[in-house]
Chain A
Amino acid sequence: MTPIKDEQKALREILRQAYLEKENVEVGDRWQEEAMRRIRELGAIEAAPSSLVMFEQLVWRLAPLTCVLILGLAVLLSSLDFISGYDIIQLLMDGTEELTLNQFFGL
């Protein structure tokens, strides 16, 4: 081994010893009580919500937007003078003597 490598290895060992020695320093015995006091102050914790609950929360969050969208579409459809297939059939069934297919379709 080269002298530099040797020296670096020796340095590492010295620093390692000093570092591991830190473990033996004595500390007080009141910190645990203080930690528990802080934890009690926080109160009970809630479990992480399940994916079903998270989905439900998302649905409720999107509900107002969905309502606004439906209302907007309803207004748009009514302004377009839209006649549904159901309305056409109703017309044909209710007044067949007055309204023929020819009249209805303008043929």
Chain B
Amino acid sequence: MNIDSHSSTDAEVVYQVVSGNVNAFERLLKRYEVHVMRIVKKHIPFDKVEEVAQDVFVRTYQSLPNFKRDESFKQWLSTITIRTCYDFWRKHYRYREVPVSSLSEKHQVWLEEATAARSSQSFDERDSQEEAREILDWALDRLSPEDRMVLELVYLEGYSVKEAANLLGWSTAKVKVRSFRSRKKLHKLIKEMSLTQRD
């Protein structure tokens, strides 16, 4: 059997890599680069995306001996990707020195208009997404790495509690509690931001 063919399964490629063929790993990288990038882009600041994507594949390579043939490689890789993103935030928060920037009045005005318009179904999606992204980043920067990851997975991406727990390697109870608390914190932050701007 020619296991170098493009139709070789993930498990076969993993076997080749573990047997000492380092270059075979490139096939896995090509196969899943888009998948990994899609996850990383959502969780990590733009200027760090490439660095973290590299870390994901290096970590995956080092963990290959632990990969079980009967599990889905894609699912396994997603888990490593999410945990690498979480580790990035843990490290980032540990060495964070300067407090994150505050928002301007235009963000608050925009948010008020957008929520009012959206709730009356008249919000135009083509309107600037930039303000929304800045508000989101501002709020997420004020959450702990744990709250941030759970909020992104459950509240923003719509993963179930069980799926998020599997991805993060936490218990469902922990994810459930974190999810509730982080959502409350987010709403509180945005509410406080609105009040501050009003004063």
On A, residues with C-beta under 8 Å from B are: 3, 6-23, 25, 27-28, 30-32, 34-36, 38-40, 42-48
Contacts and interface: CB of A to CB of B under 8 A. Distances in A.
Nearest to B30: A32
Interface stretch (B60-68, B84-92, B165-173, B174-182): B60-68
B49 interface: yes
B42 A23 contact: yes
B11 interface: no
Interface residues of B, number: 49
Interface string B43-54: 000100111011
- Which secondary structure dominates where chain B touches chain A? helix
Interface of B: 17-23, 25-26, 29-30, 33, 37-38, 41-42, 46, 49-51, 53-54, 57-58, 61-62, 64-66, 111, 114-116, 118-119, 123, 125, 129, 132-133, 135-136, 152, 155-158, 187, 190
A27 B41 contact: yes
Contacts of A8: 187
B26 A36 contact: yes
B61 A15 contact: no
B141 to A, nearest CB: 14
B136 A43 contact: no
A35 B53 contact: yes
A18 B136 contact: yes
A25 to B, nearest CB: 6
Nearest to B64: A45
Contacts of B50: 27-28, 30-31, 34
Please provide the 5 A-B residue pairs with the shortest distance between their CB atoms, ordered closest to farther.
Answer: A18-B132, A10-B118, A31-B50, A48-B65, A35-B54
